A and B are shown apart, each in its own frame.
Chain A
Amino acid sequence: MITVATIPARTGIGLKPQHYQEILRDRPGFGFFEVHAENYMGAGGPPHHYLEAVRKDYPLSLHGVALSIGGESPLNRDHLARLKALLERYDCGLFSEHLAWSTHEDAYLDDLLPVPYTGKTLQRVCDHVNETQDFLGRQMLLENPSTYVQFEESTMTEIDFISQIATRTGCGLLLDVNNVFVTCKNHNMDPNAYIDAFPVEHVGEIHLAGHDERRDDTGAPLLIDAHGSPVVNRVWKLYERAISRVGPVPTLIERDANVPPLADLLAEAARADRVLDAERQRRNSHAVAAE
C-alpha cells in the first residue's frame, strides 16, 4: 500500500471496470485513480477486490456523486458513514462532492440537480459542507456544476456563491473546467472571464471531460455534461488558462459513457501532464529570473 495518501499534482483517470485487468497487468505510470464512491458501497466481491489491488500501486481520490449537499433535506448520515468507511479503508488522498442536490425527502433522483444562488441556499450548503467535513474529519473539495437552467430567485453569481462557501467552511474547490464551459455556454457567459474570476487559491483538483451539444427550444446552444467523448480543444484551452492561474494541481480525465480503450484515456492524461509540466517550467524560469 502506498501509505502517503496525498494525490500528486499530475494527471489521473477515472477507474473503470472495463480496465481493471489491463491496469493490473501493465501498471501504466500516471498520477492517480479516482472512483465514484457509490460504486464501491456494496458489501464485497470483485469491485473491492480490484480496487484493493489497484490501490496497492496508485494513490486514490474518492468522488461522491450522491450526497446531495445542495438538498433541502437533511444530509443522509448513513451515507456519510459509508463515505467515511471508504475513505479510511482505501486511505484516499482526496474527497470531493458536487454543488448539487439529488435526494428529496427519501427519494434518490440520480442526477446532479441545480441550486438557486441566494443567501438562504448559501447558508444551507455551508451547513451541509460543515457537517460533512466534521463527520469525515477532513477537508472536502466542492465541485462547480454543469447547469441547464437558472432560477429567477438567484441573487448571487455562481462564483460569488462558491467563493463564499470556500471562505466560510474552509472547504477546497474542485474546478471542473468542462462544467465551466458547459455552464457558461448554456447561460451566455464568457468561460474565460469565469476562469479569471474563480477563487483559485482554494482549488485542490481539476476535472476535464467531454460534453454533447444540443439546442434549446429557441435554437440556442445547449451543452450537456455527458462524459461520453474526448475533451474538446476549447476546453483544453480553458484548462491551460486555468492552470496558469491555479498552478499545477491534480487533474482528472473523466469518462463515464462510451468508455474507450485505456490507451485513449492515457493519451488524454499525457496531454494534461504536458500542460502541468509547462506550467512548472514557466514558474521555475520566473523564479530564476526574479533572483
Chain B
Amino acid sequence: MTTQPGQNDFAAALIDRALPVPDGVTSWTQPLPARRFGVYRNNVSGALVEALAVRYPVVKRLVGEEFFRAMARDYALHNLPRSPVLIYYGADFPDFIAGFEPAGALPYLADVARLDSAHWESYHAKDAIAVPQGAFASLAPATLANVAFEFLPSVRILSSPHPIVAIWRTNTEDAAVQPVDLTLAEDALVARPEMAVEVRTLPAGAAVFLSALRDGRPLGEAAATALQTAANFNLSQNLAGLIAARITARIIP
C-alpha cells in the first residue's frame, strides 16, 4: 500500500526544515530523498529572500549579502506571502527589522527599510497626472484656508530620527559612499510624478503638513497643525515645495 502525502504535509516540510521528507515522496535512487526534496525547500526560501532583496536593496547593502539572506529567510518562513503577486510582498519587513535583535547595532536600519519600501510602492503605484503649477496661482485668496488636495497615488511621506535620505542616497546613487552624520534626523517625501521615482528631504514641519493634506484636511488646518509641531515651520517654503514637487492630483476648492 502506498502513502499519499497531501499538500499539507508537503508544504509543512518545505517550511520547517526540522521535519522529515514527507512519506510517499520518493525517487529512482532512494526513498525519502533529502537532497532532492531540499531543492524545493531551497527554492521556496531562496525565491522569497530574492523578492525581499529586490524591494530592499539599500538594506541588503547596509548589512551585507550573508546577513541579509539570513534575516530575510527568518522573516519569510514566518511570514509567507498571502498573495501570489510578489510586488506586494514584504510590506511589514521594516517592522520585523525593528524587532530583529542581531540588527540592533544599526538603529537606523528599519527606517531605511521604510524608505526602500516607499520607493518600491511609489514605483508600482497607479499612474496619475499632477495638476500644472499654474493651478495654484488661480486659487482665490479668500477661501484658501478651506482648499484641500488629493495627492498622487505614488506619494509617500516618512518621518525619522535618523538621516534616512542621506544614507539611502549615498548607497544608491554615489559612486563613492559619502560619510553621513548619524546625529541628523531626516523626513522624506517620495513621489513619482512621471516614470522616475523622486526622493526628497523635507524641512521642519513639512512631514506633518503634507501628512495632514494627504489625509484630506484643509490647507489652513494643515498649516496650523504643522506650526504647532515645529515652531520654525515656514509656510511659504512648504507651499513652494508642494507646488514644485508636482505631487497634487486634484485641488478641491
Q: Do A and B come into direct contact in the complex, CB within 8 Å? A: yes
B-contacting residues, A54-84, CB 8 Å: 66-68, 71-73, 76, 79, 82
The reply on B182 being an interface residue by CB < 8 A is: no
* 17 additional A-B residue pairs with CB within 8 Å, beyond A43-B124, A72-B6, A148-B40: A38-B85, A41-B87, A43-B127, A66-B85, A76-B84, A104-B7, A107-B11, A107-B80, A116-B4, A116-B24, A151-B26, A152-B3, A152-B25, A188-B28, A216-B30, A218-B30, A220-B29
Are B36 and A216 in touch, CB under 8 angstroms? yes
Are B124 and A216 in touch, CB under 8 angstroms? no
Are A222 and B11 in touch, CB under 8 angstroms? no
Question: How many Å lie between the Cα of A108 and that of B127 in the bound state?
Answer: 27
The reply on A150 being an interface residue by CB < 8 A is: yes
The reply on A113 being an interface residue by CB < 8 A is: yes
Are B40 and A47 in touch, CB under 8 angstroms? no
Residues of B within 8 A of A137 (CB): none
A-contacting residues, B119-154, CB 8 Å: 122-127, 153-154
Are A187 and B81 in touch, CB under 8 angstroms? no
In-complex Cβ contact of B3 among A101, A110, A153, A215 (8 A): A153
The reply on B48 being an interface residue by CB < 8 A is: yes
In-complex Cβ contact of B26 among A107, A150, A186 (8 A): A150
The reply on B5 being an interface residue by CB < 8 A is: yes
Residues of B within 8 A of A71 (CB): 7
- A108-B80 contact, Cβ under 8 Å, with A42-B124, A45-B125, A148-B39: yes
What are 11 pairs between A and B in contact, CB < 8 Å? Answer: A43-B127, A44-B153, A45-B127, A68-B84, A104-B10, A108-B82, A111-B14, A113-B7, A148-B40, A152-B24, A153-B3
The reply on A102 being an interface residue by CB < 8 A is: yes
Residues of B within 8 A of A116 (CB): 4, 24
- A45-B124 contact, Cβ under 8 Å, with A38-B84, A104-B8, A109-B11: yes
The reply on B63 being an interface residue by CB < 8 A is: no
The reply on A261 being an interface residue by CB < 8 A is: no
Question: How many Å lie between the Cα of A66 and that of B3 in the bound state?
Answer: 27
Residues of A within 8 A of B48 (CB): 110
The reply on A29 being an interface residue by CB < 8 A is: no
Residues of B within 8 A of A153 (CB): 2-4, 24
Are A47 and B44 in touch, CB under 8 angstroms? no
Question: How many Å lie between the Cα of A95 and that of B8 in the bound state?
Answer: 29
Residues on A close to B: CB < 8 A? 38-39, 41-49, 66-68, 71-73, 76, 79, 82, 101-104, 106-111, 113-114, 116, 148-153, 186-188, 214-218, 220, 222, 224
CB nearest to B196 among chain A residues? A46
CB nearest to A152 among chain B residues? B2
Question: How many Å lie between the Cα of A151 and that of B35 in the bound state?
Answer: 15
B64 to chain A, nearest CB (A): 21
Residues of A within 8 A of B126 (CB): 43-44
The reply on B83 being an interface residue by CB < 8 A is: yes
Question: How many Å lie between the Cα of A41 and that of B153 in the bound state?
Answer: 16
The reply on B156 being an interface residue by CB < 8 A is: no
B43 to chain A, nearest CB (A): 4
Q: Write out, one digit per residue, whether chain B residues 21-42 have a CB within 8 A of any chain A CB (1) or not (0).
A: 0001111111101111101100
The reply on B195 being an interface residue by CB < 8 A is: yes
**Which A-B residue pairs are the 10 nearest by beta carbons?**
A66-B84, A42-B124, A44-B127, A43-B126, A152-B2, A107-B80, A108-B81, A111-B43, A104-B11, A110-B47
B156 to chain A, nearest CB (A): 13
Residues of A within 8 A of B25 (CB): 149-152
CB nearest to A189 among chain B residues? B28
CB nearest to A42 among chain B residues? B124
Are A222 and B125 in touch, CB under 8 angstroms? no
Question: How many Å lie between the Cα of A153 and that of B214 in the bound state?
Answer: 57
